[in-house]
Structure 1
Amino acid sequence: MEKLAEGIATLNQLVGGFVWGPVMIGFLLLAGLYFTVGTGFFQFRRFGLWLRGTLFAIFRSPDVRDRRDPGAISQFQALATALAGTIGTGNIVGVATAITAGGPGAIFWMWISALVGMMTKYAENVLGNRYRYRDAHGKWVGGPMVYIERGLGCRWLAVLFAVFCAAASFGIGNMTQANSISGALASSFGLSPLAVGIAVATLAGVVILGGIKRLASVTERLVPFMAVTYTLGGVLIICLNWRGIPAAFSAILSDAFTLRAAGGGAVGFILSDAVRYGVARGVFTNEAGLGSSVIVNSASNVKEPVRQGMWGIFEVFFDTIVMCTITALAILTSGAHLLGGDGAELAIAAFSSGFGRFGGVFITLAVCCFAFATILGWSYYGERAVDYLFGARARIGYRLCFIGMTVVGCVGSLQLVWSVSDTFNGLMALPNLIAVLLLSPEVFAATRDYLGRIKKGGPSHEIRRHSARRG
């Protein structure tokens, strides 16, 4: 077993070195910058527009919670399920790991990846909405494999994405999350990883085997509760350590441009740990460029592709700019990063500085809720990918396998699980980014059309569908 683990680690190191090397990191950042410029800096100049169409609409628009379409889920359910896939252990354990491995400067690059990644996710959602279609049962089907095949006419690239997505669902969406749950519970309560794995698998199975309707029903209740609770707790820790806020921002900005563990020179900067871990953990937590959340967003009742794109912007904003920053500042202002430790232990130390023993319990419960929600969200992503590859008959087999792998994740190695997850993230991003960039003229045209109708005061809830959207 040890030799197998060593072999996997060696192979992953070779593949991961390419996936998260300077080419892939540059590809992700440049793709986001390309859509930022191409849409006229939409995420900045239209900040009020997309915020009104997302966050404010949750409280003011009844359409956001409309469930009348039997073949779709509501916009709020789609958001909650997508956030369930993104607001996971990456917001706690991922941030702590990035600081440990890349220094405080990794947070700066996490912000950069999020600011430009907003528009990558925007583009993905626009295309997902434009090319989705109803299946034989009247349910919406969409995602990168759909717009790759129908938009580019490239079946083999769509298959490649689906393969990587199905594989990634066992890493980023399953074993990593389960591993973090068992690590947190073992640290706080001394529980057996195997017992935790069995319990998590049982709870996940009850929800996952019920299909997307049951899954969305659970996430729309779980995600808002855990997000608000964690945000309030994190803000309180930061307020208790408010004197350390200037030093924390200073460390983030100054450390972002150092040549940590790199070869020196310009290449050293590109390969620096701060950049690598900042971008990798940023993508891990907000999934911009992966195309995964498009799968569930395409199942919502949104009629307007650009409105669906704006939900993507909000997902990245809330996940990384808000949630990850809260974790980072809690760790840095409390000085927990100077005490040693990794993963959940670092976050526990930060919250314990203000809450005492309850801080450890708080983080443990937060990690468990976040990770469990991510497991639920990614089970749907992987299921749709398997459905695309093998048909509906393969769903039950995938679900059972996915549920069983949570046990494996709980008893596995933290370092190996995280590194394998990073690798599959990068592999999944490649076919998706190729397709999104090639289809970018449609994204830009849809954006101009939408903004033009708003400027003229015309209806913004309908759009002229692309002629290629057939079947």
Structure 2
Amino acid sequence: MGALLSILNEFLYSYILIALLLVAGLYFTFRTRFVQFRLFKEGIQLLSEKSHKQGGVSSFQALMISTASRVGTGNIAGVATALAAGGAGSIFWMWIIALIGAASAFIESTLAQVYKNKDGEQYRGGPAYYMQKALGKRWLGVIFAVLLIACFCFGFNPLQAYNVSSAVAYYFDNEQLVALIIGIILAVLSAFVIFGGVHRIGIISSTVVPVMAVLYILLGVYITFINIDKLPVLFHDIFSAAFDFKAISGGFAGSCVMHGIKRGLFSNEAGMGSAPNAGATADVSHPVKQGLVQTISVFIDTILICTTTAFMLLNYGIYDGLQGMPYVQQAIFSEIGEIGIHFITISIFLFAFSSLIGNYCYAEGNLKFIINSKKSLFIFRVVCILAIFFGAQLDFTTVWDLADVLMGFTAVLNIVVILILGKVAFICLRDYTQQKKEGKDPLFDPEKLGIKHADCWKDIKKEYEDL
């Protein structure tokens, strides 16, 4: 199984996914006139908007649900893995995939808002829904939903659990016992939140993620500051290694480009089709509002948090044999001593926990797309909790390769679809900017724009007009 995953992993990223990510990101960047930079300030301002009805999910809560999934062990262990395997140059390519991928994140989240469904007092949506509504192909939506469920429940969540157990293993000799206990703890805590519903997920994510992210960034700033004399050397190493084409041509599968883009996608998920599931839950007056907000998450994830990790690790250096969480722990220990290891262990636990529940939120929405019954949902929740438990006890190579392969298949399908449907998001963006120029708070009217199958927006428009 390990050998098969490794072959699939190399083929998928070397010949298909990297090209698709770059082409889609550049295409959307130019077609939207660099929306991720041009309207960045607008996206920040939109974070303060509240839901127009009690119990609704605000833009900020939807952002935090998606950030809870994005900001996980990928920002810490993922960056360490990229550096150990691809060298300093991988950080440059991680930045690139985030900067241009933010445009893809805008497109997919805007589409998710346009084609979302009403589910009681909440909204649901995402790639499966816009594949069904906009393309008229429910079967394709079902395939995507199955891929996403497999990716998050059996790829990403076991990986999060594994990284927590590998971090805690520092304190004990018996790694198998540690993995067992951590698996039980994470499974129990996740069950508590999972059975509490999406609103509880939003509340917890909007509390845990910002606090831990700020503390983690402050630690990185401190370590970078006390090593400020090394900063020019770090940037030189990153840029020179990123463009060492001789090294790249020697083996693309192990190059900094491959590892940087692979870990960048795992970290920020731009274009993968995951964040739109959270973005669709937001109660906003226009789809573009949440599209802009979701681009902010990509910058928070990669430009801020992944860079924080990268600088802390590069200050320490890259050494053979160190990878994943042990690499991060040793790097922090070398700068601030034992307290650094305690802090990073707590950070990885809380980041992983927020990711577990954010990931589950995505998976549940896609399960309900396929089949919506209380019995199937209960069984699904139990299976997801068991996957977390067993994930804590997997080995390093298998758990990373499994997550990468499942992520790759999910991303390929979504990117192809948003390339086809991108024109709808372009129409929405033009409408939004036109209404802003007229001094209005933009209100979406799909019929006026000639957009079909945006069913729930008729009621949403009326609700906002009645305010």
Describe how 1:15-414 pairs up with structure 2 within 5 A: 15-54=8-47, 57=48, 63-64=49-50, 66=51, 68-70=53-55, 72-135=56-119, 137-190=120-173, 192-259=178-245, 263-264=249-250, 271=253, 273-335=255-317, 337-338=318-319, 340-393=321-374, 394-414=376-396
Distance 1:95 1:445, change over 3 A: same
Do the aligned partners of 1:181 and 1:410 also contact (CA within 8 Å) in 2?
yes
Q: Which moved more, 1:43-52 or 1:124-133?
A: 43-52
Count how many residue pairs are aligned between Structure 1 and Structure 2: 449
Q: Report the aligned-residue RMSD.
A: 1.8
Distance 1:462 1:157, change over 3 A: closer
Q: Give the deviation of 1:453 after TM superposition.
A: 1.7
Q: Give the deviation of 1:22 after TM superposition.
A: 3.1
Deviations 1:217-238 (A, max 9, x none): 2111111111111111111111
Q: Give the deviation of 1:338 after TM superposition.
A: 3.5
Structure 1 spans left out of the alignment, 5+ residues: 1-7, 58-62
Deviations 1:50-78 (A, max 9, x none): 23333xx3xxxxx33x48344x3222221
Task: Report the secondary structure of 2:392's partner residue.
Answer: helix
Equivalent position of 1:60 in the other structure = none
Distance 1:260 1:386, change over 3 A: farther
Equivalent position of 2:461 in the other structure = none
Q: Give the deviation of 1:212 after TM superposition.
A: 0.7
Amino acid of the structure 2 residue aligned with 1:425: M
Do the aligned partners of 1:260 and 1:272 also contact (CA within 8 Å) in 2?
no
Do the aligned partners of 1:289 and 1:429 also contact (CA within 8 Å) in 2?
yes
Of all paired residues, the percent bearing the same amino acid is 36
In 1, the alpha carbon distance for the partners of 2:113 and 2:249 equals: 44
In 2, the alpha carbon distance for the partners of 1:41 and 1:220 equals: 28
Structure 2 spans left out of the alignment, 5+ residues: 457-467
Distance 1:320 1:260, change over 3 A: farther
In 2, the alpha carbon distance for the partners of 1:179 and 1:321 equals: 25
Do the aligned partners of 1:79 and 1:297 also contact (CA within 8 Å) in 2?
yes
TM-score (norm 2): 0.92
Amino acid of the structure 2 residue aligned with 1:75: S
In 2, the alpha carbon distance for the partners of 1:166 and 1:432 equals: 14
Equivalent position of 1:446 in the other structure = 428
Q: Give the deviation of 1:364 after TM superposition.
A: 0.8
Q: Give the deviation of 1:118 after TM superposition.
A: 0.3
Do the aligned partners of 1:242 and 1:333 also contact (CA within 8 Å) in 2?
no
In 2, the alpha carbon distance for the partners of 1:168 and 1:330 equals: 29
Do the aligned partners of 2:102 and 2:298 also contact (CA within 8 Å) in 1?
yes
Q: Give the deviation of 1:272 after TM superposition.
A: 5.3
Amino acid of the structure 1 residue aligned with 2:32: T
Do the aligned partners of 2:248 and 2:257 also contact (CA within 8 Å) in 1?
no
Do the aligned partners of 2:110 and 2:290 also contact (CA within 8 Å) in 1?
yes
Q: Give the deviation of 1:312 after TM superposition.
A: 1.3
